[in-house]
Amino acid sequence: MTDSSMSQPSYLNIKKGLFSWIFTLDHKRIGLLYLYSVGAFFLVGAALGVLMRLELLNPGGDLIEAQTYNQVFTLHGVIMIFLFIIPSIPAVFGNFFLPIMLGTDDVAFPRLNLMSWWLYVIGALFALSTLVFGDGPADTGWTFYAPYSVKTGTNVSMSVLAAFILGFSSILTGLNFIVTIHRLRAPGMGFNQMPLFSWALYATSWIQLLATPIIGITLLMIVAERMLGIGLFDPSIGGDPILYQHLFWIYSHPAVYIMALPAMGIVSEIIPTFAQRTIFGYKAIAYSSMAIAFVGYFVWGHHMFTSGMSGPAAYIFSILTFFVAIPTSIKVFNWLATMYKGSISIEVPLLYAVGFIFNFLIGGLTGLVNGALAADVHLHDTYFVVGHFHYVMFGGTGFAFFGALHYWFPKIWGKMYNKLVANVAFAIIFIGFNTLYFPMLILGIMGMPRRYYDYLPEFHSLNQISTYGSWILVSGLLLMIYNLIRGYFNGTKTTDNPWNGITLEWQTKSPPPLHNFDKAPELVKGGPYNYPNAIDGSH
Amino acid sequence: MSDNTKLVNHNDNEIHITSYVEHFGTWISLILLTFMTVFISVFGADLNTLTVATALFIASIKALVVAYYFMHLKYDPKIYRVMIIVVMALFLFFLLMLVVDYLTR
Ligand code: HEM
Ligand SMILES: [Cu+2]
């Protein structure tokens, strides 16, 4: 904030008015556009989730009917997957921070970047339009499994087209990041001097670029099947429903890493900053991102163990699934080793990062349980799966998203939220989250199936606990959001580098100027996490 | 220009002027291959399943010709070739597992 006489105005003040935002080419403003849209849809999705939990508070259809419930979980799933979690970290924080962390002034293709946000908006409108047009939102689940998705009277075509358009938005972001990383790194910054968040985005972008077109085509095949009855997936006219599942999961399993890898990148940024210590195993973390992205292409069949896929194919996929665990655990051990003997300051972002590790461990290990062929035959389509993927996506990526928000909040707006309130909100969210989802794991093992509005009496008490958890969670979320909004309006001004970070975004002002740096940033000697005052005897 | 072992940096805005011979060669080979596909599907019905396999094989050759000559892959750094090979390998793995599933069901 000093010597403002000779420096550019911040990106927030350079121009005002709605049009200066929705037609901006500045990667930082586009990042914020994504933040607001993604955040809004998170709230819609969460409201639908709470609605489902209310219905499940007691057995019997006392709040919503079966058909409505089917549409609610589908809309919840579609919103959370395509409108929240896939764009979340890359489109918000990737857009905002990737160029700054690489020491450059924008992404490679700013116009494509704006177009990708507009495609996101159009896709979102398509998804929401199912609420008013046709026979209501799809009731197929977010997976749109054929042949039901070909036969149901609900508005599947529109939902599927929404996902198709959103896919293009995702592809453009990925393409943009790949070119940015290859072409626009600051002079002297080789691949191995990049921050780990960039590595994570790099791996993610390749998945976005290579896997998303497959889901695009597959979803169009659904529309074609519905309108023209070609006989691709519908067995009554010669199609094969299992082919649909192959095509769907060859995208959607890699897509799980579109959700997870950027979150891991966030954690790899937060932990060294708050341990003031070089990240342990830089290359192991960087390359394991690439390894996860690669191996992630070979395991899709683990979603199909009980769907009629052949036995030998199932064995192969089960074995391959276990390989993904290796690079993932490499990362976890490296994060823990980074904190070991570091000078740790327990600030809110670190709490979210550690919360991530805790939740992701439960999510990852229950994932291995699902990947084990014999166990999955029992657990498939039970609440165990619902518990598992919320641990990964919400407890993992969601927590990392909130962590990133608290970590970079002072950089984005130049102000600080109330840290005490933020700590309290974290505690409530953490407790609420685990109260909501841990009972689901037990319910699943007891045999409660997913995607039902009703259940047998023996599942009552655990369902009640889970619903209470959703109330705790939501109050924590609201407190967190309130605190951040209050920080935005009334927060105290911060310094440019409140956490003593050393990646390049901490060298510029808070909030950054339009072209990110007033003078060219200096690369840290000895790698991006070489903390000058680290007490470091271990390696 | 014909030295395609040299790494070409597109930052330097180097322009490759491809000869007419090469362009026409690409075009004519594509047309010939298309005729082959048609010929096999119309007259080669006795090949049974192999008809599909042959058609796919010819289509792959056409794609390679387009990528290599028309899309200038031959001028690009080796890394681009590696990327394309990786993508093709992923795709082949996908087909392989589909076939494994179908044949052992
Ligand atoms: C307030 C937070 C949330 C609550 C209360 C909640 C609740 C639920 C419940 C109860 C179901 C199971 C429906 C059923 O099988 O009968 C469900 C499904 C699902 N949730 Fe959530 N959830 C929340 C947040 C999230 C988040 C953050 C994500 C992703 C990032 C997510 C993704 C999904 C998906 C993909 C499904 C599967 C939908 C389907 O079966 O097609 N949820 N959620
Ligand atoms: Cu999977």
State both tokens at A312: 């030998």
Q: For residue A305, list chain B residues with Cβ-Cβ distance below 8 A.
A: none
Distance, in Å, from the CA atom of A79 to the CA atom of A94, rounded to the nearest integer, reads 20
Q: How far is the CA of A429 from the centre of ligand 1 (A)?
A: 16
- Considering the entire predicted model, what is its pTM? 0.92
- The residue of B80, B97, B104 whose CB has the most chain A CBs within 10 angstroms, and thus the best one to mutate to test that interface, is B97
Domain segments of chain A as ranges: 3-507
pLDDT band at residue B46 using 50, 70 and 90 as cut-offs: low
* Residue A450 CB less than 6 A away from ligand 1: yes
Structure letter (DSSP) for residue A231: S
B100 → closest Cβ in A243, A298, A312: A312
CA-only gyration radius of chain A, Å: 23
Ligand nearest to the CA of A398: 1
Q: For residue A310, list chain B residues with Cβ-Cβ distance below 8 A.
A: 100-105
Residue B43 predicted with pLDDT over 80: no
Residue B9 predicted with pLDDT over 70: no
Residue B59 predicted with pLDDT over 80: yes
Q: What contacts 24+ positions apart, CB below 8 Å, involve A22-29?
A: A23/A114, A24/A114, A25/A106, A25/A110, A25/A111, A25/A113, A25/A114, A26/A106, A26/A110, A26/A514, A27/A95, A27/A96, A27/A98, A27/A99, A27/A106, A27/A107, A27/A110, A27/A113, A28/A95, A28/A96, A28/A412, A28/A512, A28/A516
pLDDT band at residue B53 using 50, 70 and 90 as cut-offs: confident
| pLDDT given at position A535 | 53
Residues A431, A435, A441, CA angle at the centre, nearest 5°? 135
Give per-residue pLDDT as tens, A508-521.
Answer: 999 999 999 998 89
- As beta bridge partners, residue A449 has A382
pLDDT in tens, chain A (539 residues): 444 445 688 999 988 899 999 999 999 999 999 999 999 999 999 999 999 999 999 999 889 999 999 999 999 999 999 999 999 999 999 999 999 999 999 999 999 999 999 999 999 999 999 998 888 999 999 999 999 999 999 999 999 999 999 999 999 999 999 999 999 999 999 999 999 999 999 999 999 999 999 999 999 999 999 999 999 999 998 899 999 999 999 999 999 999 999 999 999 999 999 999 999 999 999 999 999 999 999 999 999 999 999 999 999 999 999 998 899 999 999 999 999 988 899 999 999 999 999 999 999 999 999 999 999 999 999 999 999 999 999 999 999 999 999 999 999 999 999 999 999 999 999 999 999 999 999 999 999 999 999 999 999 999 999 999 999 999 999 999 999 999 999 999 999 999 999 999 999 999 999 999 998 899 988 889 998 765 544 44
pLDDT band at residue B2 using 50, 70 and 90 as cut-offs: very low
A313 → closest Cβ in B90, B94, B101: B101
Query: Is the ipTM value over 0.95, yes or no?
Result: no
Q: For residue B102, list chain A residues with Cβ-Cβ distance below 8 A.
A: 310
- Cβ–Cβ gap B94/A250 under 8 Å: yes
| pLDDT given at position A7 | 66
Interface subset of A 263-322, CB within 8 angstroms of B: 297-298, 301, 308-313, 316-317
pLDDT band at residue B54 using 50, 70 and 90 as cut-offs: confident
State both tokens at A413: 């707006």
- Cβ–Cβ gap A298/B93 under 8 Å: yes
| pLDDT given at position A4 | 43
| pLDDT given at position A440 | 98
Distance, in Å, from the CA atom of A272 to the CA atom of A340, rounded to the nearest integer, reads 11
DSSP string, A296-360: GGG-GGGG-TTTT--HHHHHHHHHHHHHHHHHHHHHHHHHHHHHTTS-----HHHHHHHHHHHHH
pLDDT band at residue B42 using 50, 70 and 90 as cut-offs: confident
| pLDDT given at position A533 | 67
Burial class (CB in 10 A: 0-12, 13-18, 19+), A535: exposed
DSSP string, B33-85: HHHHHHHHHHH-GGGTHHHHHHHHHHHHHHHHHIIIIIT-GGGS-HHHHHHHH
Distance from the B39 Cα atom to the nearest Cα atom in chain A, whole angstroms: 25
Topology at the third CATH level for domain A3-507: Cytochrome C Oxidase; Chain A (1.20.210)
Q: For residue B94, list chain A residues with Cβ-Cβ distance below 8 A.
A: 246, 250
* Residue A52 CB less than 6 A away from ligand 1: yes
- Cβ–Cβ gap B97/A309 under 8 Å: no
